């Protein structure tokens, strides 16, 4: 593709789609946001007014037919990802897709098969934490043997309590807390441990605040244990109800040491000492915590697509994350250990 910019169209302009759209339009060298699709007219109006996007489509098929389009960014509801990814690959477009790849393993495998039929195209799922500078430093230190052989990952994704419970609306289609939130920690654990497959999982959970989750079998606080085929372990916690802010952190224990990332989810370097003690502010949400990582992730996708390089994470990793996330959800709902063979 040489020095030409990658002409990108985005599908989905919701909570996260708007962030990706702004990054692509203003902050990712080598990308040009040329088109957007959403079934919601207000969202399209926002793309035109805020970002100057001229080509606006109420449906995804029309976006794929946009003249000269090179790539699509899928930031649509999870249940649509697999089909939309397949359509994009069939139309000859590079694709970035938000996590999770799909809620069903069979759908992930169909996407992998479609990507195998289109070897010149980049298809990448957005496990954003792999692009966070601190997680990358941790990964490099583990690779360099600084904590010996890592054998245990303890990782959590914690959202600040949102009393409106907006996510409850999505609970029937998001796959539940393990596929929606813990899937990040699942992918991280596999990445930090060198990509093992899972052997079996157990999970449980509780409804601490959002009673409306009970009818769909979901919880607002979930705990899971993943046993990998080589005997190593991951222990995961996800919460939608933290009082203090967005708190995502990870600890990796090895035979010669341990390391942690983000244990104090500080918003900045200010510490206030007063009659209540010594404290700092926390980041408010996932985007504040991972803003730089989202930017680096988009840049990595755009660079790979322009140069024809393979993406830094494989679709098979996204399939394995869904396989484990599904098993965790099944374990929590059924109250039993789920064997993954």
Ligand X SMILES: NC(=O)c1ccc[n+]([C@@H]2O[C@H](COP(=O)([O-])OP(=O)(O)OC[C@H]3O[C@@H](n4cnc5c(N)ncnc54)[C@H](O)[C@@H]3O)[C@@H](O)[C@H]2O)c1
Q: Which residue ranges make up the site for ligand X (CB under 6 A)?
A: 11-17, 37-40, 43, 60, 75-78, 80, 98-99, 126, 128, 180, 286
Which CB sits closer to ligand X, 232 or 246? 246
DSSP for 18-85, please give it. Answer: HHHHHHHHHT-TTEEEEEEE-S-HHHHHHHHHHH---EEESSHHHHHTSTT--EEEE-S-GGGHHHHH
Coil, strand, or helix at residue 210? coil
Coil, strand, or helix at residue 262? coil
Contacts of 162 (CB under 8 A, 6+ apart): 240
Q: CB of residue 171 vs ligand X: minimum separation in angstroms?
A: 12
Cβ contact 323:105 at 8 Å: yes
Taking alpha carbons only, the member of 341, 324, 275 closest to residue 100 is 324
Cβ contact 258:246 at 8 Å: no
Which CB sits closer to ligand X, 254 or 325? 325
Q: CB of residue 81 vs ligand X: minimum separation in angstroms?
A: 6
DSSP for 279-335, please give it. Answer: E--B--SHHHHHHHHHHHHHHHHHHHHHHTPPPSS-HHHHHHHHHHHHHHHHHHHHT
Which CB sits closer to ligand X, 94 or 289? 289
Q: CB of residue 45 vs ligand X: minimum separation in angstroms?
A: 12
Q: CB of residue 117 vs ligand X: minimum separation in angstroms?
A: 23
- Residue number of the CB atom closest to ligand X: 14
Which CB sits closer to ligand X, 12 or 205? 12
Taking alpha carbons only, the member of 90, 104, 102 closest to residue 60 is 90
Which CB sits closer to ligand X, 248 or 254? 248
Which CB sits closer to ligand X, 87 or 241? 87
Q: CB of residue 101 vs ligand X: minimum separation in angstroms?
A: 9
Q: CB of residue 180 vs ligand X: minimum separation in angstroms?
A: 6
């Amino acid at each position: 593709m040489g020095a030409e910019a990658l002409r990108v169209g985005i599908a989905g302009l919701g909570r996260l789609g708007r962030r990706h759209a702004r990054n692509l339009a203003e902050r990712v060298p080598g990308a040009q946001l040329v088109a957007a699709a959403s079934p919601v007219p207000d969202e399209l109006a926002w793309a035109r007014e805020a970002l100057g996007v001229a080509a606006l489509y109420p449906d995804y098929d029309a976006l794929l037919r946009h003249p000269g389009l090179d790539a699509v960014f899928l930031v649509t509801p999870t249940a649509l990802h697999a089909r939309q990814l397949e359509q994009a690959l069939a139309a000859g477009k590079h694709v970035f897709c938000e996590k999770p790849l799909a809620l069903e393993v069979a759908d992930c495998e169909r996407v992998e098969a479609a990507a195998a039929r289109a070897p010149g195209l980049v298809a990448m799922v957005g496990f954003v934490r792999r692009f966070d500078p601190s997680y990358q430093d941790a990964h490099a230190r583990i690779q360099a043997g600084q904590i010996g052989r890592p054998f245990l990952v303890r990782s959590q994704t914690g959202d600040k309590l949102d009393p409106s419970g907006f996510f409850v609306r999505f609970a029937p289609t998001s796959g539940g807390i393990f596929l929606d939130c813990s899937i990040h920690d699942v992918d991280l654990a596999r990445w930090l441990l060198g990509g093992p497959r899972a052997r079996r999982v157990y999970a449980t959970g509780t409804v601490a605040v959002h009673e409306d989750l009970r009818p769909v079998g979901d919880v607002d606080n979930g705990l899971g244990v993943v046993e990998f085929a080589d005997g190593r372990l991951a222990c995961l916690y996800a919460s939608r109800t933290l009082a203090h802010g967005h708190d995502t952190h990870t600890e990796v224990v090895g035979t010669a040491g341990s390391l942690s990332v983000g244990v104090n989810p500080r918003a900045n370097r200010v510490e206030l000492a007063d009659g209540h003690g010594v404290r700092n502010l926390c980041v408010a949400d996932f985007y504040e915590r991972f803003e730089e990582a989202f930017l680096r992730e988009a840049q990595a996708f755009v660079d790979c697509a322009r140069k024809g390089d393979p993406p830094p994470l494989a679709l098979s990793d996204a399939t394995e994350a869904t396989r484990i996330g599904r098993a965790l959800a099944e374990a929590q709902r059924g109250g039993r250990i789920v064997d993954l063979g």
